[in-house]
Amino acid sequence: MSARVRRFGRELAYLTAGGLTSYLALVTWTVGLSLVAGLAVLIIAIPVAVTVAAAFRWVVELDRQNARIIAGAPIGRAYHRSARPGLWPRMQTALRDRQFWRDLGWLLLHSVVGQLLAIIALTFVATTLATLTLPVWGGYIPGDAAHWGPLPLGEARARWAGPAVAIPLAAITVWLTGLMARAELWLARWLLGPRAAGPAGDATPAAEPLGAPAFRYRPEIAIPMHGVVAFVVGITLTLIWLVTGAGRSFWPVWPWFALLTTIAVHVLLVRAARQQTGDGMLRVLLRTGIEFAVGLALMLVVIWALAGGGYFWPVWPMLGMAFPLGVLALMVATPWRDSEALAQRVDVLTRTRRDAVDAQAAELRRIERDLHDGAQARLVALTMKLGRVESRLAAEHPDEAALIGDARADATAAIAELRDLARGIAPPVLADRGLLAAVQALAGRSPVATEVRGTIAGRLPAAVENCAYFVCAEALTNVAKHAPGARATVELEQAGGELSVRVSDDGPGGADPDGGGISGLSSRVSALDGRLTVTSTAQGTTIDVGLPCGS
Amino acid sequence: MIAEDHALLREGLVALLRENGIEVCAVAGDGDGLLRIVAGHKPDLAICDVRLPPGFTDEGLRAAIEARRRQPGLAILMLSQYVEPAYTAELLATGEGGVGYLLKERVGDIPAFLDALERVAAGGTALDREVVSELVRERSAASGDELAALTAREREVLGLMAEGRSNGAIARELVVTLGAVEKHVSNIFGKLGLAAGSDDHRRVLAVLAYLRAG
The DSSP code sequence of A500-545 is: EEEEEE-S-----TTSHHHHHHHHHHHHTT-EEEEEEETTEEEEEE
Please give, rounded to a whole number of angstroms, the shortest distance from the CA of A432 to a CA of chain B. 5
Q: Tell me B73's DSSP state.
A: T
Q: Name which of A369, A390, A428 is nearest B82 (Cβ-Cβ).
A: A428
Q: What is the DSSP letter of B175?
A: T
Q: What is the pLDDT of residue A30?
A: 92
Question: Does the pLDDT at position A122 exceed 90?
Answer: yes
Query: Cβ of A413 under 8 Å from any chain B Cβ?
Result: no
Count Cβ neighbours within 10 Å for each residue of A117-128 and write b for 16 or more, e otherwise: bbebbeebbeeb
* Out of A379, A429, A446, closest to residue B86 by CB: A429
CB-CB under 8 Å, A447 with B12: no
Average pLDDT across chain A, whole number: 82
pLDDT at A348: 82
Most B CBs within 10 A among A415, A432, A435, hence the mutation to make, goes to: A432
Could you tell me how far CA B80 lies from the centroid of its own chain? 11
Q: Which amino acid is at B73?
A: G
| Chain B, nearest residue to A376 by Cα | B81
What residues of A are in contact with residue B110 (Cβ under 8 Å)?
387-388, 390-391
Whether the CA torsion A290, A296, A302, A305 is positive or negative: it is negative
CB atoms within 10 A of CB A326: 10
A vs B, Cβ pairs < 8 A, gives 93
Whether the per-residue pLDDT at A140 is higher than 90: the answer is no
Chain A CB contacts of B134 under 8 Å are 444-445
pLDDT in tens, A303-338: 888 777 788 888 888 888 888 888 888 887 776 666
pLDDT digits 0-9 by tens, B69-121 = 888 778 899 998 877 777 777 887 776 678 888 988 888 888 889 888 988 88
How far is the alpha carbon of A208 from chain B, nearest alpha carbon, in Å?
52
pLDDT at A124: 92
Decide: helix, strand or coil at residue A154: coil
What is the full DSSP assignment across B104-163?
GGGGGSHHHHHHHHHHHHTT-EEE-HHHHHHHHHHHHHHHHHHHHTS-HHHHHHHHHHHH
Our CA-based measurement puts residue B142 at a distance from the nearest CA of chain A, in whole angstroms, of 5
The C-alpha of B111 sits at a distance from chain A's nearest C-alpha, in angstroms, of: 8
Interface of A with B in 203-222 (CB under 8 A): none
ω into residue B54 within 30 of 0, thus cis? Answer: yes
Residue A270 near residue A223 (C-beta atoms within 8 A): yes
Calculate what percentage of chain A has a pLDDT beyond 70.
89
B13 reaches A (C-beta below 8 A): yes
Judging contacts by C-beta atoms under 8 Å, the chain A residues touching residue B57 are 431-433
Answer whether B107 sits within 8 Å of A384, measured CB to CB: yes
pLDDT at res. A154: 66
Cβ-contact A384, B18 below 8 angstroms: no
* pLDDT value of residue A491: 92
Could you give the percent of chain A with pLDDT greater than 90? 9
Query: What is the pLDDT averaged over residues A72-77?
Result: 77
Mean pLDDT for A427-444 is 83
| Distance to chain A for B62, nearest Cα, Å | 12
Query: What pTM, to 2 d.p., does this model score?
Result: 0.50
- Is some CB atom of chain A closer than 8 A to the CB atom of B213? no
Is pLDDT above 50 for A417?
yes
Predicted local confidence at residue A117, as pLDDT: 92
Which residue type does A37 have? A
Q: Mean pLDDT check: name the lowest of A109-123, A193-207, A512-526, B155-169.
A: A193-207
| Minimum mean pLDDT range among A174-178, A202-206, B170-174 | A202-206
Distance CA A442, CA A472 (A): 8
pLDDT band at A340 (very low <50, low <70, confident <90, very high): low
* Pick from B51, B107, B134: CB nearest A445: B134
Residue range A493-514: mean pLDDT, rounded = 81
pLDDT (tens digit, 9 = 90+) per residue, A202-259?
333 333 333 334 456 677 888 888 889 888 988 888 888 888 876 667 778 888 888 8
Pick among B52, B62, B110 to test the A interface (most A CBs inside 10 A): B110
Give the per-residue pLDDT at A321: 87
Task: Please give the DSSP secondary-structure letter assigned to residue B101.
Answer: E
Give the model's pLDDT for residue B145: 65
Highest mean pLDDT among A26-35, A251-260, B49-58: A26-35
Write down the pLDDT at residue A126: 93
Contact A433 B58 (CB under 8 A): yes
For chain B, say whether A437 makes contact (Cβ under 8 Å).
yes
The burial class, CB within 10 Å (0-12 / 13-18 / 19+), for A325 is: middle
pLDDT on residue B212? 67
φ/ψ of residue B45, rounded to 5: -145, 140
Chain A contact for B195 (CB, 8 A cutoff): no
Nearest to A92 by CA among A334, A323, A288: A334
Distance CA B13, CA B16 (A): 5
CB-nearest partner of A441 from B19, B84, B111: B84
3 state DSSP class of B102: strand
Q: Which residue in chain B is spatially nearest to A384 when comparing CA positions?
A: B108
Neighbour tally for A496: CB within 10 Å: 9
DSSP secondary-structure letter at A373? I
Exposure class string for B88-111: b at 16+ Cβ within 10 A, else e = beebbebeebbbbbbbbbbbbbbe
| Cα–Cα distance, A37 to A20 (Å, whole number) | 26
Inter-chain residue contact B6 with A377, CB threshold 8 Å = yes
Is pLDDT at A18 greater than 80 in this prediction? Answer: yes
Q: For the sheet with B2-3, list strands across it.
A: B27-28, B2-3, B45-49, B75-80, B99-103, B125-127
Contact A460, A435 (CB under 8 A): yes
What Cα–Cα distance (Å) separates residue B20 from each residue in B17, B23, B69, B110? Answer: 5, 9, 30, 9
Q: Which of B51, B105, B110 has the CB atom closest to A388's CB atom?
A: B110
For residue A479, the model assigns a pLDDT of 84
- Cβ–Cβ below 8 Å for A445 and B137: yes
- B129 to A126, A383, B156: CA distances (angstroms): 83, 17, 11
B52 compared with A484, residue with greater pLDDT: B52
Q: What is the pLDDT of residues A447-503, one digit of tens each?
A: 778 888 888 878 888 888 888 998 898 888 888 888 777 888 999 988 878 889 998
Model pLDDT, residue A367:
87
Chain B within 8 Å of A404 (Cβ-Cβ)?
no
Q: Is A379 on the interface with B (CB under 8 A)?
A: yes
Min Cα–Cα distance to chain B from A340, Å: 45
Measure CB to CB from residue A437 to each of B19, B86, B111 and give the nearest one: B86
**Residue range A356-388, pLDDT digits in tens:** 888 888 888 888 888 877 888 889 889 989 988
Determine phi and psi for B103, rounding to 5 degrees.
Answer: -75, 145
Q: How many CA atoms lie within 13 A of A162 on its CB side?
A: 23
B107 touches chain A (CB under 8 A): yes
CB of A428 less than 8 A from some CB of B: yes
Q: Which whole number is the average pLDDT over B112-139? A: 83
Mean pLDDT, chain B, integer: 81
> Within an 8 Å CB–CB cutoff, is residue B178 touching chain A?
no
CB distance B85–A419 less than 8 Å? no
Mean pLDDT of all residues in B45-66: 85
pLDDT digits (tens, 9 = 90+) for B5-17: 888 888 888 998 8
Q: Are B84 and A441 in contact (CB under 8 A)?
A: yes
Cβ <8 Å between A380 and B107: yes
Number of neighbouring beta carbons within 10 Å of residue A106? 24
Residue type, A336: W
Non-local (6+) Cβ contacts of A531 within 8 A are: A525, A544, A545, A546
State what percent of residues in chain B have pLDDT above 70: 90
Across the interface, whether the CB atoms of A388 and B19 are under 8 A apart is answered yes
Q: What is the mean pLDDT of residues B117-141?
A: 80
A366 touches chain B (CB under 8 A): no
Residue A1 has pLDDT above 80, yes or no: no
Task: Say which amino acid occupies A294.
Answer: V
